[in-house]
Amino acid sequence: MRILIIRFSSLGDVVLATAAVETIFRNVPGAGIDFAVREEYADLLKGDPRIRNLFVWKKGQGQFDYLQGLRRETYDLVLDLHRVTRSFRLYPFLNYSRLIGCDKRSLERRLYVWFGYRREGRLRPLLDAYLEAIERAGLGKEKFLPRLIPNPEARAEVENIFNSLGMKPGEPILALAPGAKEEIRCWAPDRFAKVGKRAIAELRARVLVLGAESETELVQGVIRAIGSDRAHPLPGLSLDRLSALLARVNLLVANDSGPAHVGRAVGTPVGVIFGPTSPEFFPAYGAGDFIAERELSCRPCSLRGEHPCSRPRRECLETITPEEVYNQVKNRLFISHGGKGEK
């Protein structure tokens, strides 16, 4: 059986779409799984042994040019997990027997944000929409969570990074990701720094501060505020190296952002700080994960943090203290770090 999965963007959504890859891989032995994705996110799936072909839509590439590879393939099923104009325009040019799209219930989410409107059983995480589409396609009722498989080259590069930093086996490793696509979702950098500083002083942890290349200044600012040679800046990692690195740390603390999804998909415990957005839009968290948030009448005020705060200050984030986040870190770090190696 040949299946094409379409999910072009964004980072967290592409990570969540790996639940479809994993579920099909487990339920349909021998299935040939292809994946259509934008260039910015392709490194997440590079070298994934479950994926036969990766069709990467490059920046500036026209639709006709992009279709040249896809039109040579014949699919038993096209599974469109994106359902946007870009994917709709592909349909007439693809060779397939069946097409299944997912119901993202976008209107329900917006009504919830705008009016606090919620109907029992209707406000479901996006992951559930993906898995429901797979079930409708008859690909098995057993469902699996998102799973990223870092490629060997990225794993080796991460080991080289750890060796260059003088990191020793058995040291607890805390990763901090203080950025996010929208600044309004970001907990204050000095608060991330306070958490890292205490983890070093009290737990003798190594602290890795991560971010996109555009967040280099933010990362360096957190490092300076921590003020320790046990804290290391690692901005600008490619996505395959980010996933490989997060597979090797003991705990990640992040804003509601793509790295949080990556960490969970490689099996690492994650602490997520939610401000204007809501964890209700995302999968349930595991026993090793934690959420820091405030129950306020104005939350969530947006789906992705795209709107400015209407209050004099961002109470949703500013009332979350470094102490409460650090207590969660302390309770988990030594539990998770014992014997942690490659996954």
Note whether 2-136 and 153-337 share their fold: yes
Give the CA distances from residue 66 to residues 92, 156, 157, in Å, rounded to whole numbers and listed in that order: 14, 32, 31
Residues 6+ apart with CB under 8 A from 198: 322, 326, 330
Q: Is the pLDDT of residue 144 over 60?
A: yes
Nearest Cα residue to 204 out of 324, 290, 333, 322: 333
Q: Is the pLDDT of residue 101 over 90?
A: yes
CA dihedral in degrees (304, 309, 314, 320; nearest 10)? -20
What gap in Å lies between CA 135 and CA 216, rounded to an integer?
A: 42
For 2-136, CATH gives 3.40.50.2000
Contact 270, 260 (CB under 8 A): yes
Q: Is the pLDDT of residue 119 over 90?
A: no
DSSP code string of 266-319: TT--EEEE-SSS-GGGSPPP-TT-EEE----TT----SSS-S---SSS-HHHHT
149 three-class SS = coil
Residue that has been written with the tokens 């991560």 in this structure: 210
* Structure confidence at residue 120 as a pLDDT band (50, 70, 90): very low
In CATH, what class is 153-337?
alpha beta
| pLDDT tens profile 248-266 | 999 999 999 999 999 999 9
Delimit the domains of the chain by residue range.
2-136, 153-337
Indicate the pTM of the whole model.
Answer: 0.92
* Structure confidence at residue 113 as a pLDDT band (50, 70, 90): low
